């Protein structure tokens, strides 16, 4: 091989190595950008705070907006399973008459992936009787299953049941 051919071969080899390195780096960076970041437990906990604030508006439709269209609600104060927006709005109309104010007592959050999480534990609601103004506290177990849909966290399953001991 002549000196000129060796130089040409070295240039071709160097160019191939630089190109391969650039492509590899580009693929690595693209992979890093494509992998969505998992939410923190704090971010998931804040979803309850947003739901609780929507209760304070007194507007059942605003509360229902926090649920996915195909959500399932197993409510605390009703034996009827709610499986669509109309059912959730109906439940919230009655629930909101009591001016509920929620507070978590115990919480356990599991972030499953970048688009789904579970929040389960115990919460309590201070309810106000609309006729007498008397307040009472109801403790309940809860589970929220959240999914990120079109970039927005929605409740897809919500189970709430009064504590069996009282």
Q: CA separation (Å) from 148 to 31, 109, 118?
A: 21, 15, 12
Rounding to the nearest 10 degrees, give the CA dihedral for residues 51, 119, 83, 65. Answer: 20
Is 3.10.450.50 the CATH number for 41-162?
Answer: yes
The C-alpha atoms of residue 117 and residue 45 are separated, in whole angstroms, by 10
**pLDDT, tens digit only, all 166 positions of the chain:** 665 555 555 455 555 555 555 545 555 455 556 678 999 999 999 999 999 999 999 999 999 999 999 999 999 889 999 999 999 999 999 999 999 999 999 999 999 999 999 999 999 999 999 999 999 999 999 999 999 999 999 999 999 999 987 5
Distance CA 117, CA 100 (A): 25
8 A C-beta contact, residue 63 and residue 162? no
Structure tokens at 161: 């049941």
Q: Would the pTM of this model clear 0.75, i.e. be above it?
A: yes
Cβ contact 94:58 at 8 Å: no
Determine which helix (DSSP H) or strand (DSSP E) holds 74, and give its type and residue range: strand 67-74
């Amino acid at each position: 091989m002549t000196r000129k051919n060796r130089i040409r071969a070295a240039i071709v080899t160097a160019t191939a190595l630089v190109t391969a390195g650039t492509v590899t780096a580009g693929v690595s960076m693209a992979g890093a950008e494509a992998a969505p970041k998992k939410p923190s437990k704090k971010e998931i906990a804040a979803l309850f705070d947003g739901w609780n604030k929507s209760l304070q508006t007194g507007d059942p439709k605003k509360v229902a907006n926090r649920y996915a269209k195909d959500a399932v609600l197993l409510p605390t104060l009703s034996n009827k399973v709610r499986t669509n927006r109309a059912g959730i709005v109906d439940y919230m109309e009655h629930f909101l008459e009591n001016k509920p104010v929620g507070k978590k007592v115990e919480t356990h959050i599991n972030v499953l992936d970048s688009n789904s999480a579970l929040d389960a534990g115990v919460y309590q609601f201070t309810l106000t009787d609309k006729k007498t103004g008397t307040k009472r506290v109801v403790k309940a177990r809860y589970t929220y299953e959240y999914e990120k849909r079109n970039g927005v966290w929605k409740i897809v399953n919500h189970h709430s049941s009064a504590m069996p001991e009282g």
